[in-house]
């Protein structure tokens, strides 16, 4: 695996990092605008566009199940990649509820409709939490499932890139080796153990990162002075070391936290599905009721 591919798995590009925040601001903006306009009754759920928004939103939420289908059946691969359908799932999982909010014109109705509404909002929020946990146990944004050995092997690979030509690099490499050796083979087997282990390693890796970068800066300054390096040469040396230390600690943290997030994700699945079924059930009763009473 090339370095670009493996390393990108831990550190996202700035745009990718910003995407959730941008989406959140846009979606909240649209919702607040709709909420402020609700008194005007541009939309009513009984008829016209308001009615169709209910149908459109429900269709959007039903179509996000195509992801489950695609994920489970390889034969369905003619309809596109799992990654594409996962992305579509998230998009429709946000767009669907927004359309339905506009369908209700931000007003509550009979009990059953309200249960459908709250179940829907809960499923969508739970989906966002799920995506966060999902990101912790996969490589990159839509990559394959992460494995501890694989991540640690890549972290070791990074250390090799440090080279030995600088004193600072040599020092950093030694410290990272010591850290790796200490945590190797210590993956706990119980849920509480993995939570504790993940938390301790995360804190220690962050402290190590801070310490190594500060120390590398000091060593480079001394070595640079002794060898008459220019400011630019010192900067380049430090940049390389800093980047590798950051990636290394990100990889180690990811490996340490993996066990905990895997358990959390399994738990999340157990909570997410009943909410989904509650929404579908009450949604069907709602559609039946509004046309019969
Ligand atoms: C999960 C999907 C849906 C949710 C959460 C939902 C929610 C709601 C809520 C809370 C209201 C009450 C708003 C008010 O009284 O001002 C309402 C009204 C209504 N909805 Fe939906 N809706 C959904 C889907 C649909 C669909 C697919 C249709 C049509 C096929 C539909 C048709 C209606 C109608 C006709 C009303 C007006 C009923 C009345 O005022 O008695 N809804 N909906
Ligand atoms: C009303 C909106 C939503 C509904 C009804 C819904 C429904 C579902 C269902 C039924 C599953 C189980 C799929 C399976 O295991 O086959 C699922 C999984 C998932 N959903 Fe959603 N979802 C919604 C919104 C969202 C949103 C907004 C996000 C993220 C931004 C999201 C992220 C996820 C993730 C990460 C999984 C787990 C995927 C996996 O295990 O492969 N969902 N959702």
For ligand 2, atom 33, name the residue with the nearest CA. Answer: 127
Protein residues with CB under 6 Å of any ligand 2 atom: 61, 64, 68, 71, 89-90, 93-94, 96-97, 120, 123-124, 127-128, 130-131, 134, 272, 276
Distance CA 184, CA 163 (A): 22
CA distance 293 to 288: 9
Give yes or no for residue 85 having a pLDDT over 90: yes
Q: For residue 88, report the phi and psi dihedrals to the nearest 5 degrees.
A: -65, -40
Instruction: Calculate how far, in angstroms, residue 123's C-alpha sits from the geometric centre of ligand 2.
Output: 8
Ligand 2 center from residue 168 Cα (angstroms):
46
Protein residues whose CB sits closer than 6 Å to any atom of ligand 1: 45-46, 51, 54-55, 57-58, 100, 103-105, 107-109, 113-114, 116-117, 120, 283, 286-287, 290
Mutate to test the pocket of ligand 2, among 19, 20, 89, 274 (most ligand atoms within 8 A of CB): 89
pLDDT beyond 80 at 155:
no
Evaluate whether 106 touches 35 at the Cβ level (below 8 Å): yes
Report the atom number in ligand 1 closest to the C-alpha of 104. 13
Cα 262 to Cα 191: distance, rounded to the nearest angstrom: 10
Rounded to an integer, what distance in angstroms lies between the CA atom of residue 92 and that of residue 84?
12
Please report which confidence band the pLDDT of residue 2 belongs to, taking 50, 70 and 90 as the band edges: very low
| Ligand 1 centroid, distance to 33 Cα (angstroms) | 20
- Average pLDDT over every residue of 62-89: 92
Query: In angstroms, rounded to a whole number, what is the distance separating the alpha carbons of residues 134 and 128?
Result: 10
For the stretch 154-160, contacts whose Cβ atoms lie closer than 8 Å and that sit 24 or more positions apart, written own/partner, are 154/1, 154/6, 154/7, 154/9, 154/251, 155/180, 155/247, 155/248, 155/251, 155/252, 155/255, 156/180, 157/3, 157/6, 158/3, 158/7, 158/244, 158/247, 158/248, 158/251, 159/244, 159/248
- Give the three-state DSSP class for 2: coil
Atom index in ligand 2 nearest the CA of residue 96 equals 1
Q: pLDDT for 17-68, tens place per residue? A: 788 899 999 999 999 999 999 988 889 998 899 999 999 999 999 999 999 9
Compute, in angstroms, the gap from residue 222 CA to the centroid of ligand 2: 54
Which pLDDT score, from 0 to 100, does residue 144 have?
63
φ, ψ dihedrals at 108, nearest 5° = -85, 160
| Mean pLDDT confidence for 96-100 | 98
DSSP letters, 76-145, are GGGG--HHHHHHHHHHHHHHHHHHHHHHHTT---SHHHHHHHHHHHHHHHHHHHHHHHHHHHBSTTT-PB
**Residue in 55, 95, 112, 113 to alter for ligand 1 test, most ligand atoms within 8 A of Cβ:** 113
58 CA distance to ligand 1 middle (Å): 10
Residue of 253 and 143 predicted with greater confidence: 253
Q: How far is CA 251 from CA 112, 140, 223, 261, in A?
A: 47, 12, 29, 15
**Distance between CA atoms of residues 131 and 135, nearest Å:** 6
Mutation choice for ligand 1 from 47, 51, 54, 287, CB with most ligand atoms inside 8 A:
54
Tens of pLDDT, residues 180-231: 778 776 767 777 777 788 888 888 888 989 998 998 889 888 888 888 888 8
């Amino acid at each position: 695996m090339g370095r670009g591919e493996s390393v990108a798995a831990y550190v996202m590009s700035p745009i990718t990092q910003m995407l959730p925040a941008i989406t959140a601001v846009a979606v909240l903006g649209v919702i607040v605008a709709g909420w402020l306009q609700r008194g005007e009754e541009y939309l009513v759920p009984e008829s016209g566009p308001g009615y169709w928004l209910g149908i459109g939103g429900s269709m959007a939420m039903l179509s996000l199940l195509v992801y489950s289908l695609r994920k489970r059946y390889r034969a369905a691969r003619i309809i596109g990649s799992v990654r594409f359908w996962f992305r579509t799932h998230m998009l429709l999982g946000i767009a669907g509820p927004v359309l339905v909010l506009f369908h209700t014109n931000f007003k509550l109705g009979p009990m059953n409709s309200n249960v459908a509404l709250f179940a829907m909002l809960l499923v969508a929020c739970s989906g966002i939490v799920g995506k966060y946990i999902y990101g912790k146990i996969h490589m990159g944004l839509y990559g394959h499932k992460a494995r501890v050995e694989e991540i640690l092997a890549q972290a070791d690979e990074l250390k090799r890139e440090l080279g030995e030509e600088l004193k600072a690099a040599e020092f950093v490499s030694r410290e990272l080796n010591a850290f790796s050796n200490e945590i190797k083979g210590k993956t706990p087997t119980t849920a509480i153990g993995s939570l504790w282990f993940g938390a301790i390693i995360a804190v220690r890796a962050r402290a190590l990162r801070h310490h190594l970068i500060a120390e590398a800066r000091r060593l480079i300054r001394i070595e640079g002075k002794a060898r008459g390096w220019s400011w630019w040469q010192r900067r380049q040396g430090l940049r390389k070391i800093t980047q590798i230390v950051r990636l290394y600690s990100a990889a180690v943290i990811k490996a340490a936290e993996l066990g905990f997030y895997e358990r959390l994700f399994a738990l999340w699945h157990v909570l997410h599905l009943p909410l989904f079924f509650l929404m579908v059930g009450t949604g069907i009763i709602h559609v039946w009721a509004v046309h019969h009473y």
